[in-house]
Chains A and B, each alone.
Chain A
């Protein structure tokens, strides 16, 4: 298996704050890889680096052999690396159908040599019809066909997530980054979404998932990477991660009195030594 995406010793610092210390990971072609970790572990930051929304302080990201350093988000999207967003996943004032039409932006470019001129002189008809057909097909595929004419901003949270996925798929990606796609979904919506993720993979799209819903992550992932404090602390198949002591420590020990007590004890010990 070859790596479709390689994160090569990436570090991100905001002033003195280290969001990602030194992240090194490969995503294999065709796998479903999950990136988990407690809040503030650097998962979303890692996403933002991979998709060009953040410039890393060090290191490089390579996608299908191309270095993404210095590329803008829209250029990365056109290389075939798509993403969804945690909170705002739709264009709220447009209908669901028009959302997907906006998502098909990059596809329209290939249809006409001078798309703007074509639009002005009214020659875009055939291309537009093709795009509309694709938008309809895509909406049916993710299960939003019945919602096509509703304002995206008025949809339920879970459905807005689906719109976000449809938008990302509209760019015809080779790899899809999903940022907490099932947060705010109920159990049955989550089940449907898991099926959708598998179907997306069957289309040959590699998936990198950030998610807090552990049962869902365990069920859907081929492999899991665990981050804590901007560092990779564990990596492996779901069964191995479930029983990894470092992971249990990171989740259960996080933010608790136990860690503060341990830190204080450490400080006391150091003071005693000095």
Chain B
């Protein structure tokens, strides 16, 4: 059952575009939702599995977007003392990889800086970091074009040596690209939390002193989690840049972080499927509401849906529903059978 749900969801997402008959409006909504859901999955790794709230998560997303865009556009900037850095355009796939590396490196810095003092300090450091990066993107006009936006970003292209090179220009192609990356990210998180490393994260979250006493290195574990989380957010940012093909400093908007937090918390933090379910619901809710009500009313309904979900299922949709299912069918626990440990 728990293994089937993700597979069923993946299967329906695979055939969904056929049902939509390539409706561009809906495809666009699905792509943006998918990209944000990847962001939510990455946030869940920190918020859900280590308990650290990163309210500047959008910084990693935005860094991924800018690094990827600049790698594929090329740039020529003065860095002081008469030196210039000139970069010739590289293929978008290289940008995608560099976006992951750059965001991961930033995750490392933030993790090292802030995990010695945790909780509220981490929240503040991440918010400040996102704001600083946004200001850099806004004001370093020579590199980023500032508010004029980086335009003409090439579409993502995928090359297989010996087979050829495909450029993903259409919405349908981008949809499947986002689905593929999202699936990979899901599998990565699943592997991670089911491993020794995942147990270390859970131990630290549940009882830090006890975790330390069995030899778990808190700073190292949390920093690795921050690096992987940031790298995934960077990958999402890169997808975003090559899909929209134009980005401006608004990609660092605080409200996007809030959306991701809502997706994680409403879906069920600390579960694998939580951010996916939360992401789909809160990503697509505005699309579903748009034809039936005025824009002002949409956000009121959005808020009401969120409040109702958290009121009925305070731990989120996925834990709430699985508790409900467990109550209906009390399955006898097999003795000493290794548990999957993580709710799906």
Contacts and interface: CB of A to CB of B under 8 A. Distances in A.
Contacts of A131: 196
Interface stretch (A118-126, A203-211, A232-240): A118-126
Given A94-B202, A148-B335, A149-B334, A122 B213 contact: no
Interface string A84-104: 010011111111011001110
Contacts of A90: 207, 210
Interface in B149-204: 188, 191-192, 194-197, 199-200, 202-203
A91 B206 CA distance: 6
A149 B334 CA distance: 7
Contacts of A97: 336, 338-339
A74 B341 contact: no
Contacts of A82: 213-214
B341 A77 contact: no
A161 interface: no
A158 interface: no
Interface in B285-316: none
B215 A91 contact: no
Interface string A18-42: 0000000000000000000000000
Interface stretch (A164-172, A257-265, A266-274): A164-172
Contact of A149 (B191, B194, B213, B339): B339
Interface stretch (B9-17, B52-60, B216-224, B260-268): B216-224
Interface residues of A, number: 48
B210 A149 contact: no
B337 interface: yes
B27 interface: no
B211 interface: yes
B333 interface: yes
B215 A119 contact: no
Given A77-B213, A94-B341, A102-B202, A115 B336 contact: no
A128 B192 CA distance: 13
A73 interface: yes
Given A90-B207, A105-B200, A149-B334, A120 B192 contact: yes
A132 interface: yes
B209 interface: yes
A61 to B, nearest CB: 15
A109 B195 CA distance: 12
Contact of B191 (A74, A89, A120): A120
A146 to B, nearest CB: 7
Contacts of A128: 195-196
A157 interface: no
Contact of A73 (B188, B202, B213, B337): B213
A254 B194 CA distance: 51
B213 A119 contact: no
Interface string B83-122: 0000000000000000000000000000000000000000
A139 B215 CA distance: 19
A134 B223 CA distance: 29
A93 B206 contact: yes
B188 A120 contact: yes
A167 B210 contact: yes
A229 interface: no
A6 interface: no
B135 interface: no
A85 B209 contact: yes
A106 B214 contact: yes
B215 A108 contact: no
Interface string A152-177: 00000000000010011011000000
A136 interface: yes
Contacts of B216: 74, 102, 105
Interface of B: 188, 191-192, 194-197, 199-200, 202-203, 206-207, 209-218, 224, 333-339, 341
7 contacts: A90-B207, A92-B206, A94-B202, A94-B206, A115-B196, A119-B191, A150-B333
Interface of A: 51, 53, 72-74, 77-78, 82-83, 85, 88-95, 97-98, 101-103, 105-106, 108-109, 115-116, 119-120, 122, 124, 128, 131-132, 136, 139, 145-146, 148-150, 164, 167-168, 170-171
Given A98-B339, A132-B338, 7 more contacts: A102-B203, A105-B200, A108-B196, A148-B335, A149-B334, A149-B335, A167-B213
